[in-house]
Homo-oligomer: A and B are copies of this chain.
Amino acid sequence: MTQSQVTTSKDTSPAHRADWIEAIAFDADGLVPAIAQDAESGRVLMFAWMNREAVEKTVKLGEAVYFSRSRQKLWHKGEQSGHTQTLREIRLDCDGDVLLLSIEQRGGIACHTGRESCFYRRLEGGRWQVTDEVKKSPGAIYGDR
């Protein structure tokens, strides 16, 4: 993992803004998949979607902002849990239709189940075996609602 900071543009003119965001090929729903990877360990922590506004806010804030398909609105990761994701760098794939975020995961918990990574199940012997412990219970993270 490189240690370089994401350079957020100080020039907010539409023409300049367009330079990089226009290279992103959003799908028919206006979304692009985003993979969040821990900047230090390299572990893939989660996968979510972004719309154009989410991408812009992510780069501007320097924290991951996704688009919740279930709630159909922007979702500033950690807004409830405190488990924000500080953006270290953002990459675009060859087809321009997938983003890869290198992030610092606050609290060391990305998953709503209270685990470090959402990918806590591994296929072993024809079963999905849970490999990760719950670091903090969802009740403790979100409050019992």
Contacts and interface: CB of A to CB of B under 8 A. Distances in A.
A42 interface: yes
A37 B113 CA distance: 23
Interface in A23-44: 23, 33, 35, 37, 41-44
Given A35-B35, A44-B35, A94-B111, A122 B89 contact: yes
Interface residues of A, number: 46
Contacts of A16: 126
Interface of A: 2, 4, 6-7, 9, 11, 16-17, 19-20, 23, 33, 35, 37, 41-44, 46-47, 59, 89-95, 98, 100, 111-113, 115, 118-128, 131
